[in-house]
Structures are given as structure tokens and as C-alpha cells.
Structure 1
Amino acid sequence: MKSIICMEPYKLKMIEEEMPVRNENEALVKIRRIGICGTDLHAYRGNQPFFEYPRILGHELSGEIMEIGNNKQNLKVGDKVSIIPYIECGKCMPCRLGKTNCCVNLSLFGVHKDGGMREYLCVPHDHLLCTNEISLDQAAIIECLAIGAHAVKRAEVKKNDNVLVVGAGPIGLGVMKYAKLKGANVIAVDMNENRLEFCKRWGPVDYTLNVNQDLPAEISRITSGEMASIVFDVTGNARSMENAMNFAAHGGKLVFVGLVKDNISFYDPDFHKKEMTLLSSRNAQPDDFQYVFQSIRDGHVDTASFITHRTDFDNTITEYETWLKPDGGIIKAVVEINS
């Protein structure tokens, strides 16, 4: 079978591999769609934490079951599936508490272990979500949107909350969408005006702000002086993450969804006087995947315009560089394997 491996930063290579052999607790899945996310692009550039080369990328995946044995999920050959790519140990304290997304020994397809940028992959039964009711394209973006949905759940967003989302990439858009579905008033912040226009159409968010504006003043104006009850920073930029504290209300929350290979520091009196809650949000949990699947199935998410770029598997290496260009208008790229 064909696989695409990232040998080192800025070097992808098509290779031939043996077909994988599943064990009794796994299904053999033919990969049909591969979503390209920030993690993949960071790894390609050489600045992804928890990453070693060489590695087969790809963890936003949908496909079709080719082989499967007895399983509690009632899955069968021919079912379309979305893959939950976080493989947990099931034994550590977070796993025992149901927080499998932050397992001490977490192994993520495409980061800690070889991922799905290949034609076939063996996946544990309990990490497959049957998606026969939606398209392969839609099933491939569940993981991306589930990260946003998980962050919204973790922050306990409620109706009429003033929610500020800094960073209008795919994950940030997911946070905006699921905050809107909770009934929040959503303010999107980014430096790219085209992205902000997309937020207006796709969210649809209530307000957009460019980072070049006086953000504290504008947020104060929009919220009648109260500031944002919940701030999500999804940039993966240390300076942005440090500044985000200035946008939160007294008694509010700041949620770091983006990840940065750097130290984050802040002036403690400003943090303390607000009695702020500081949270991180990592990955997603199985119930987040189910929730996102249902929201897509029920027509609450515009998936067609979310996927802006696509290519076939054989042309992936050629197209990869174009997805890095900031002026490329990319929201989500998807690789198709149709053979």
C-alpha cells in the first residue's frame, strides 16, 4: 500500500509498505479522506511538540471498514467511520476519571505513532464512530470540530455568555460554532480580514475584531464595560496567550486551546484581582465526537464551505507547500483516496 511519510522538516516522501494486519480488537479501515490540520503543518515545519521524525502524519480521518471481527459497537464491514485518533492506556488516573483525552500515556495517530496518511490503517473498535448518515468529507472533519466542542464544554459556556475567541483557524471556528450553538454572544478576533469575513458568514459570529484595533476598548464597548465572560485563545502564539488575560471579565475564564513550545507568563496582580479561572483544553473525548457527528447530521454545521481545498492522494506532496501560504485562503484542506 502507499503511504506518505514526513522524513524530516519540509520533506515528505511517498513510500510502499506492507498491508497492516489487525488484531482481534481492531478493524482494518480503508482510509478515504484525510483532513490536514495545524498539527500536520507544524510537524511539517518542524515546530510541533511531542513529535519525532520520521512519521506518517494524519489524524483527521474517515474511511470504510474492510475487515472486523466481533465487537460491542455493532460495526460491520462496509460501514463508513470517523476515527477517534487518541489512543489511551485506560489505566492512569485521567483514564479512570474518564478524561481519556489527557491520558498520561496518550498516543495520537500522526504524532506519537504513525497516522493515517496511507491507504489502510488498523484501528481499535472502540475508537471508531459509525458515520453512515453523513458524507466521508463530513466524517473527516469531526475530529477538528470536536476539539472546539470539547473546549466549549470544558468552559461550561452558557446562553448569553460573552465569548471571545482569539484565532479564526479551523479549531477557533469550531469553538465559535459550538459556543453559538450554546446560545453565547461570540466575538471573533484575528489579523486576517478574509478569515473574519468567513467567521461572519460561517459562525455566524456576532462581532469581529482585527488585532490591529484597540482590543480592550472594543471588547469593553461591545460588552457594555464588562469584558468577555470567557476568552478562548486558539492561536498557539505566546504573546497572544499572555495578552488574552486582558480581555477577560472579573470572575471570568481564560481557556488556552492552542499549544505553544514556549513559556507563558503574566502579571499576577492582574490575574489575581479578577479571581480568574485559567484552563487548558486538550484534544476531545468520545462524547464530543458523538455530539459533533449529531450536529453535522442535523444540519447545524456548514461543512461544505468549511472545506476550501482538496487534492487526491498522489498529488498531496505537491500541494502541501501551497497550504502553508497565508494568502491562500485556506480553511480546511482534505486529501481524497478514492481508489
Structure 2
Amino acid sequence: MKFILTTSQGIEDLAKREVEALTEKAGLNGKVEEKPFGVEGRIAAEIEEAYYFDEKRKKREFEIASFLNENSKLLHRVILHISSTRLNSSEKEKALQEIYDFVLNTPIENYVKVSESFAVRSFRKGEHEFTSVDIAKTVGSAIYEKLSKIGTPKVNLDHPSVIFRAEVINDVFFLGIDTTGDSSLHKRPWRVYDHPAHLKASIANAMIELAELDGGSVLDPMCGSGTILIELALRDYEGRIIGIEKYKKHLTGAKMNALAAGVLERIEFIHGDATKLSQYVESVDFAISNLPYGLKIGKKSLIPELYMEVFNELSKVLEKRGVFLTTEKRVIETAIEENGFKIKHHRLIGHGGLKVHAYVIS
């Protein structure tokens, strides 16, 4: 079985490693590839079908898609891959006709019964003369025509039985069955309080992976709505987990989220100021934080001083490694260097339409 798996740009290697670990744990054979066709934010996986015997000794197929949906922390969508191709034309009419013909010549009937309702969800990224709506209409028409040859197709845009996912990214067209549904996996069910600039759970887990934790204490000095801490606790992390937040509203929200996730008792929440964090903790092994930038801070002119003060405090308490996310490249690098830290790793990650910088320091 072939899958196209989606994740945030810049963490494809971590998502690939996670999928490989999950498939190995489940005893599945397969191969995983980063950025198929050179497309960022996508993982291609080809996994052999597997079977097991239930309690009645009846042979059943192992549901690979369900397994990935339920266990991945870094993926956004699990799409059963039907077909993909490179588009030859960039002109609107020619490109849409090319997509239509390609779908029409795809064995759609192998993936949906005529008795099942379907809908098409589309995604487009790159420079094109057509829109994502054009893609959805074109693919939907081709599927309808294909199925009309064997019966009367049922279209249900709101609550379909089968969701086709059609994506055009630059010159690559992907078609598949979206097994995740309309809500991305990064939208966690425990999130009952939304910080105005909360971090995607998938990126929070990527930061946790980059920290290479070994069981020591972990601090988020600006924890906001608690995403990093909650995701860490949900991993059954055994070390001490601490969150500091200056604003009571967000701290209360973080506690609400932790309660909804069932991990409130695992996290020490502190109402405090990160520029004075040495007053709250004597030492921590790791620090992981999505630092204030853009919407998260009222005046950008305050950021240089804030970062300098926070990293000065971190220099007093941080024992091993820190992982930080920000758009402010020059400012954070200055704060890191002037407070005696070294940059061990740097990468760009796509988040909310921005490319943000992730740093691992020691």
C-alpha cells in the first residue's frame, strides 16, 4: 500500500524517522521517502499489507492508515496514494484538462463504491493560473464521470463516506483517499483553550525530538497554552516537566488544556516572568520554547531586550540543551552568543504561513 503523508515543512526527516519507527514497532515491512517529487511537507511510504488473527482466530487485515492516524505525533494527514504525476502545462485550461484526463484514466472504481458518497478536498501551492476550487471541481467531475459508467455516483460535500484528496504543489499532482478526515491530526482534541499564536502540536513534537531528551528535567519558560509540555507529558515522559507563564489568562488556559489531556498532575505550572526564571528554578536539564514574535508580542522593538534577558537567565540554570523557535534570526543568535551558548543545529520550519527558525543550543 502506498501513502502520501503530510507534515510541516522542515521536519520531514523527523516525520520519516517516526513513521519508520512505528512501522518497525508494528512489525510492518516498507520503505519511507522524504519529499517525493521534491515536494516539501510530504512523505511517501510504501508499506506491505499485513494480517493478524483476532480473538476468534479469524484472519483480519491490519489497518495501516488507522494505525498511523492513531499513533503519529508529527503527521498531519495520512493519504492513501492512488496516483501522481508531473503536469506538463502551466496554462489554466491545459493544466486542468491534463488533471481531468489523468483522473479519468485512473482506476477510481477500486477505491470507492458507487453506493458510497464522495467529496473532493483540494490543496494548491505554487504559482498557478488556477485555484484550489478549480482543482476540486475538475477532479470531482472526472471522478463523477468515471463512476457514472458503472452506476449513479453520490456527491456529499459535507459528510462524505470517502474523501478524495487532490493536491497540486508546483508542477506535481497528487490524488489519494484522505483517511484522516477534515480535521488535521495536528489539531489535538485536548485543546480547549486557544492561545492567539499557539504552536502546532506536530512542531512541538519535532522540537521535543530535536532536544534528544534523556529523562532529565524540561522547562518551557514561556509556555503559553502549554502545547510543548502537554505533548511531552502525553509521551509518558518520566522527567520533571515545568512551565512558566507571565500572563494568568494563558496559564489558566494551559492548565485547562492539560486537564483535558489528562496530564495536569504531570506538569508544574508556575505564574512567573521568564526574565526572572532563576528565581523559580535552580537548574534544568532542557529548555524547549516557542519564543514570542509577531502576534505573540505587542511591540517588536521589545524583542531584543527580552531575548537577551531570557537567555541571560537560561545561562544560569540550563545544564544540557535548549530548543527554541522564532522568526527573529539575528536577535536570537546575538542573545545566544552573548550569553555563552553555542548553536548545535539550525533549521527552517513552516508554521502558519511563516518560515520560522528552530535552534538547538548547548
The reply to whether TM is greater than 0.5 is no
Answer 1 or 2: higher relative contact order, Cα 8 Å, separation at least 6: 1
TM-score between the two structures when normalised by the length of structure 2:
0.38
Larger Cα-atom Rg: 2
